Structures are given as structure tokens and as C-alpha cells.
Chain A
Amino acid sequence: MPPHQVSDEERRPLLTSEGERNSYLDEEEPEEITFTDGDEDDPKQWSGKKKLMNVFIIAFMAIISPLASSMFTPGISQIAEDLHASEEAIIATTTGFVIALGIGPLVLAPFSETFGRRKIYIISFTVFTLLQIPTALAPNAATLIAVRTISGFFGSVGIANGGGTLNDMYEPHERAGIFGWYLLGPLLGPTIGE
């Protein structure tokens, strides 16, 4: 579990009486923590708006990365000329990106099941964003291939964990409908960019 910051004022003095404490010690079975009815903490009980906010952010992540791979297909010959590289080399950057987009989830999905979704989303997408800068400034094809491949890895986070996140928030009987809209991202991304 991720370490939770313990601030000093949160640390309550031990006010419990001796007897109360003993009663806890007597209990061998640990107390089970679950989500209760009306529990604000339970993502399945969030308001529709709150769930949708999460869905939108993730769907955006999921659509932007494949889009980033295809939006540059029309400019291939231009980029090749700018970098004095063959068109094949530039196509290879897209191939590298797409493959990394596929391998990323292999790492990022299990990570989200250990560290939690939010951390993985934020860290990965921050890196993806920052990597757009060296991509824009790449002096030659080799750099472009390397940077794009790495950015594909981190860009895959929306695709990797979206299904998991939706499953966290929605009951199975209502999931497919909303899931379909989210899945348009990974599906349409490659098409729109052309």
C-alpha cells in the first residue's frame, strides 16, 4: 500500500481507556473494513457527475496517444525532408510508437493494481507530456524514433487502465454502455489523425 502521510496534528493522543484497549486486544479476528451504504469513499457510489469527470479525463488520455501516432502520418515526407532522413525511417517512428503503446499496458496496468490508478495516470501522462518537447525539437531521425517510442510507452496509460477504472466505478449491468464511449478513444484516435 502507498505510504499515507501522517501529519502531527492528525496523530491523536491515546485517549482510549485501559479497558477499551484490552477489549481490542482480546479480539483475535481483525475487524473487516468495507464500504458501507452511502459511503463517499466508494467509487461505485459516487454521483454520476463525479464518475463522468474521471471518465472524461481518462478517455482524453486514451484518445490523445493514438492520435499522436497518426496525426503525423500526412506530414511524413515533410518531416523526412526536414531531418534529412528517408521516409521509411520516419514511418519507423510510428511503428515504434504503436508497439510501445501496446507494451506500456503490460507494465502500467499491473502497477495500477499495486500503487493505485491515480498515481500511475498522473505520473505517466506527465512524462508523456514532457516528452512532446524533445519530440518537437528532435534534430535527427534516430532521436525522433527513440523519443517517440518512449512516449508511446507512457502515453499508453489511458488505454492500459481505462477499462480497470471504469470497472472500479460502474456495476457490471450498466458498464458496457459507458465503456463503449470511452473505447471510441483507442478506436477513433488512429482514424481521426489521418
Chain B
Amino acid sequence: MYWILAIVCAFNTTIGYLFLRETYAPVILGWKRERLQQDNPEAKYKFEGQDDRPVSAKLRQSMKRPIVIFIQPIVLTMSAYQALIFGTTYSIFTNLQSIFAEIPYCFDSEQVGLLYLCPGIGFLLSVWFIVPRIDTVYNRLTEKNNGKAMPEYRLPLANIGSVLLPMSLFWFAWTVEYRLHWAICMAATFFYGLGQVVIFNTVQNYYIDSFSKYAASAIAGGSVFRSLVGGVVPLVAPPMFEKLGYGWGISTFGFLAVAIGPAPLVFYYYGPRIRERFPLSLD
């Protein structure tokens, strides 16, 4: 299995080596400057985002960037939201086997594998139909604001997720608790998938718009927390499910989702003011 992985990776590395182009504007402009400089050694050039500090100083500054961005209240909250979602997703996914392989379902592992299609289809339909609307909403709100764009204009659609997530979690929790028909249980994960993708996308776009040139750092700050929680929660989930049962166990995630659900709405209205109160210097 690892060999297949190694071959596929090697293939992609080669393609990347041949076709992947530099996209980071300050680097490209830097190259351009050097070309011009060679042609005109006496001329002086500069470009937007130019940074003449030595590499070590630049690195020290840039390594701080994800942390500095991460402790922004909005980023912190929305990362907590994503962390909760990822923790929930992994906990449910890793337990599908133990739920559905047992009485009364008695699925074999292939059938359990097919169950993942339900959230998967939710993911796909969401990306297909809902996510492009994030741009639509963003553009319309920008237009209404006399062409002035705000990162907060990414958030309205996140409210769909804020409703779908807790709803689908409670639905899944209690249909599984009473061992209802598998299709009734899994239908919940379809809506969960829709919701997860919408939140994930709105938040990522919000980060990028807020920190444009340092978008990668902003996303990185958020992803650390998400991965840590996503990695640890599934380890503590099974004992919790054992103690509380799936009903209350999964509902616990549902309650947390209810608690953090209003965040996109709050930031939509108060985001600009919060950003003003916590100014950033990233260069």
C-alpha cells in the first residue's frame, strides 16, 4: 500500500517540478527587479512588498505570523468552530464501524465503507451548488457597499451550516440511539456534510480576505488548532460514547455546535469593529 502511495507521490512531484509555477507576487516581482537591474545596473527599482531585510530576520518575522494571526479574536473563535467540526467528524467517522457492524445492522466492512458516501455526497453537492454562492453573496454585498469589499461579506452563508450542523447531529444521535433504519440515520450525515463544507469554505475565504498577502499564514494558524483537536477528540470519543450512549454522546457535540453556531452572525455585524480594536502588524 505504501508503495502505491510512493509511486503516485513521485509522479505528482515530477509533474509539479515540470509544471508548477511560482505564484507569489512579491517573489515574481523580485525576479523581475533582478532582471531589470541587470539591464540597468545604475537604476534603482522597488516593488510592492519588497523586503530587504536579511533572510534570517525575515524568517523570524514570518514565523511569528501564524501565531499573531491565530490569537486574533475572530480567527480564534472561527478556528475553534472548525476544530469542533473536525473533532466531531472524525469521531463519528471512526465510530461508524462500531455502530453499524453490530446488532441490529450487522454490516460487513464493505457496507460500512459505502455509508461514507452519504456525507461524501453532502460534501460534493455543497461544493457544487452552495459554495459558488459564497462569491455571489460577496459580490452582491460589495456592490451594495458602493464597491467596497469587506471580509465579513463571506460569512452570511455560514449560517446555513450553523443551523444544519446541530440539527443533523441531534438527528443522527437519537436515530442511532434507538437503532432506527440505517438510511434514516445516515440521511443526517448528508446534511452534516453540506453544513461542514459551507462553514469550512466561508471561514477559509474569510481568512484569506482578511489577511490577503499572508493568507497562507492565516490558514496555517487556524489549521493547527483544527488538526490537534481533530486528532485528539476521536481518541476520547469512544469512552464517552460508552458512558453516555450514542444519544447523549453525539448530542454533546450537538450542544457545542449550538453554542458556537451564532459566531458567523455575530462577526458579520461586529467583525469590522473587532478587527479595528485588535490591529495587526504583520510585515
Q: Footprint of B on A, CB under 8 Å?
A: 1-2, 4, 6, 10-12, 14, 16, 21, 24-25, 27, 29-35, 41-43, 50, 53-54, 57-58, 60-61, 64, 68, 71-75, 95, 98-99, 101-103, 105-118, 121-122, 125-126, 128-129, 132-133, 135-136, 159-161, 163-169, 172-177, 179-181, 183-184, 187-188, 190-192, 194
Contacts and interface: CB of A to CB of B under 8 A. Distances in A.
B111 interface: no
Given A102-B227, A125-B13, A10 B38 contact: yes
B197 A180 contact: yes
A109 B217 contact: yes
Contact of B40 (A24, A102, A109, A136): A24
Interface string B187-214: 0000000001100110011011100111
B3 A136 contact: yes
B2 interface: yes
B159 interface: no
B256 interface: no
A112 B62 CA distance: 10
B42 A173 contact: no
Interface in B36-90: 36, 38-48, 51, 55, 58-59, 62-63, 65-67, 89-90
Given A57-B16, A194-B93, A99 B220 contact: no
Contacts of A164: 24, 208, 215-217, 219
B138 A168 contact: no
A33 B208 contact: no
Given A16-B42, A32-B46, A68-B5, A176 B20 contact: no
Contacts of B66: 105-106, 109-110
A122 B18 CA distance: 10
A30 B5 CA distance: 50
A136 B200 contact: no
Given A30-B44, A99-B227, A160-B219, 7 more contacts: A30-B46, A102-B225, A105-B224, A109-B66, A172-B138, A173-B142, A176-B135
